[in-house]
A and B are shown apart, each in its own frame.
Chain A
Amino acid sequence: MNNPADHLDIGALQDLKEIMENEFETLVNTFILDSRNKVEELDLVVQQRDCDALRKVAHSLKGSSSNVCAFRLSELARQLEMMGKEETLDGADKVLTSLRQEFQTVSEILANNL
């Protein structure tokens, strides 16, 4: 298993857990469900070369993943957002693959943290 600290800011996550209390589980579930949809959407818009949609969905995922302390996932989303913005989709597939992998890892770590 990967080291959780390579993917998530553990200290910040601990704080978040304390703040959320009982709602933490809901938050994790909501995040996972919501992000899964977004990752699928990203797949679609990259295939369709829809730069504007790519920028928006990636932007949203960047924000929400940063909020759950998933800094690496957030960074990958940012790279896709920039590609959408600059309308240069070269390498987007590659980033998207990494992102999908990263999302899987983060989901597992978060689920284990409950």
Chain B
Amino acid sequence: MDNQAQALETEVKETENLRILIADDNDSDRLILQTIVRKEGHTVYTARDGQEAIDIFKEQSPDIVLLDALMPNVDGFEAARTIKELAGDNLVPIIFLTSLRDATSLADCLAAGGLDFLSKPYNRIILQAKIKAFASMRRLHETVQAQRDEISLHHDRLVHEQEVAKQVFDNIAHPGCIDAPNIKYLLSPMAVFNGDLVLASRKPSGGMFVFLGDFTGHGLPAAIGAMPVSEIFYGMAQKGFSLQDILREINKKLKRILPVGVFCCASMVDLSFRKHSAEVWVGGIPDVLVYRKKTHELENLKSRHLPLGVVDSDRFNTDTTIIQLEKGDRIMLWSDGIIEACNAEEEMFGEERVMEVLLSTSDPDAMFDALVTAVERHTGRDEQDDDYTMVEVTMVGEEEMGNSYGADGKSYLAGGPKDWSMTYELRPLTLKEFNPLPLITHLLMEVPGLRPHSGKIYTILSELYSNALEHGVLDLHSELKASADGFARYYAERTQKLNALEQGCVRFHIDHHPVEDGGVLTIVVEDTGPGFDFKSKEESPHKTDGYSGRGIPLINTMCRSVRYLGKGNQVEVIFDWHVDV
């Protein structure tokens, strides 16, 4: 394209076709104006007076209005006012056509909503320039309007998304049994968007976990980590995992999913109402306070760990402080919000004031509220716009806790399979391909309250199973493993024999029977191997010495009894367990 053609095209683009309303009662003036405007490439609507102009405007909603000031019936001023009203939010430039010269008349034109004047005699060049200027003003206005609408749409969507997110967070990061009679807490409804999180769950054993977390940052990024923490906390707490297990799992998950610099300062308490003790872990959060009712004293449990989500699993430390509590003793957890709450002079509330308020309150039941009031008085705000989070847990008797297991919580006695038996026979094709231990462990962990014993049970099962498979079905001799060389040979032989296996099987007979506060688990593992002379070994003074290589001494320390039956190809283990409290 040569320059001339390009210039021509640009010019064509610049000459936008507009729809222009011309209202003038003077026929010859109107004719001239109409001709000039039409020649500019615009579409023209004409009106003879103000009323006609209004009517045409309603029908055609033109882009620009050229309005004679003095017209019969409805004059230009009134027409301008009506047109402005009809246009609403839209910008419709009104240019007054007038040969009025005095300041008052011109001011009247502007007051009525006119943006400019065009005086008679009409000048084609000036008219053209004005139309162009107002067309671009109108476009600008439309752009601003479109952007405003878009912003407001985005805003609405954002608010909606936050509401949805909040609902999801509330469902997942619900505070569990936070309404239990021994808990007081302060948590703003929007706390999750401040990165604060409070979780509480009864344990299957009857105890209680309380978790307070404070994520770095604010808004959605701070809130997002609350979901996995809450899922892990409630999922594992209900299954009977320990405080250490839960913290380790949360740390691992957060370390993996959170970006560097985002982590969760937290404290967690495992409360036993039966033993009247608490196990406390504090990581990167203000001191947990322990209030002793008898002496009216406070003890500080300082943070001894990094926050969750900072270090890798192998460096993560789950050491806890174990404290004895008497009835009425209290443990207080908080985020740094209270301590950092500032007054108008930017002075923080501080840890000292916290201690002061608590110790100067003689009634322990009033301490929590006294502290809240003192912070509010300090900041001059009410709790609506706060971002501080605080929990107070009181040691009470087990009977006082009653059925406060929270919305989804369950007593360790409720639900789950407790009284059952099963037989599980594994034949050659299965023995070659499949490790049955995770499946069996999983089944056993469905027994309410048994979870804390999973480690021992797994050890028992794996020892018995490998004995049955290797010494029974595969008829391998453990003596081989005595030397380093033999160890390798043992496993080579194991692989070879297993691959060649065509007959034989291992049978599990598992029986669980509930008793008060626990149960009796009987595991019999039987194999189709040759067995061995266990009777002579049982007679030896050190009962289990002779089973070396079969892991039996270890198992013996874990359960009520280990017995060999039949020709030595059956072994029965009886495991008594009690709820861990």
Residues of chain A touching chain B, judged by Cβ–Cβ distance below 8 Å, are 12, 15-16, 19-20, 23, 26-27, 30-31, 34-35, 56, 59-60, 62-64, 66-69
Contact = CB atoms under 8 A, between A and B. Distances in A.
A63 B29 contact: yes
B120 A34 contact: no
Nearest to B26: A64
Given A19-B39, A59-B99, A27 B28 contact: yes
A30 B35 contact: no
A67 B121 contact: yes
A63 B29 CA distance: 8
Given A63-B99, A63-B120, A69-B121, A56 B31 contact: no
B27 interface: yes
Given A16-B32, A59-B70, A30 B27 contact: yes
A64 B28 contact: yes
A67 B27 contact: no
B122 interface: yes
Nearest to A15: B124
Contacts of A16: 32
A67 B34 CA distance: 13
Contacts of B122: 67
Nearest to A16: B32
B526 interface: no
A34 B120 CA distance: 17
Given A63-B26, A63-B99, 10 more contacts: A19-B124, A20-B32, A26-B31, A27-B31, A30-B31, A34-B26, A34-B27, A34-B28, A60-B70, A67-B32
A69 to B, nearest CB: 7
Interface of B: 25-29, 31-32, 35-36, 39, 70, 99-100, 120-122, 124
Top 8 closest pairs, chain A to chain B, by CB: A31-B28, A63-B120, A66-B121, A63-B99, A67-B121, A30-B28, A30-B27, A64-B26
Specify the main secondary structure of chain A where it touches its partner. helix
7 contacts: A12-B121, A30-B31, A34-B26, A34-B27, A60-B25, A66-B120, A67-B28
Nearest to A69: B121
A9 to B, nearest CB: 9
Contacts of B70: 56, 59-60
A64 B70 CA distance: 13
Contacts of B31: 20, 23, 26-27, 30
A68 B29 CA distance: 9
B545 to A, nearest CB: 123
B46 to A, nearest CB: 13
Contacts of A60: 25-26, 70
Given A30-B27, A67-B121, A69-B121, A23 B35 contact: yes
A68 B28 contact: yes
B354 to A, nearest CB: 83
A20 B100 CA distance: 25
Most chain A CB neighbours (cut-off 10 Å) among B25, B29, B122: B29
Most chain B CB neighbours (cut-off 10 Å) among A34, A60, A67: A67
Nearest to A9: B121
Contacts of B100: 59
Contacts of B27: 30, 34
A67 B28 CA distance: 8
Contacts of A34: 26-28
A27 to B, nearest CB: 5
A57 to B, nearest CB: 10
A77 B32 CA distance: 20
Contact of B99 (A26, A56, A62): A62
A67 B31 CA distance: 10
A30 B25 CA distance: 13
Contacts of B121: 12, 66-67, 69
B29 A67 contact: yes
A27 B25 contact: no
Contacts of B32: 16, 19-20, 27, 67-68
Most chain B CB neighbours (cut-off 10 Å) among A19, A23, A31, A63: A63
Most chain A CB neighbours (cut-off 10 Å) among B28, B120, B122, B124: B28
Contacts of A35: 28
Nearest to B31: A27
A35 B27 CA distance: 10
Contacts of A27: 28, 31-32, 35
A64 B29 contact: yes
Contacts of B36: 19
A101 to B, nearest CB: 20
Nearest to B121: A66
A20 B35 contact: yes
A25 to B, nearest CB: 11
Contacts of B120: 62-64, 66-67
A70 B39 CA distance: 23
Nearest to A32: B28
Nearest to A78: B99
A23 B29 CA distance: 13
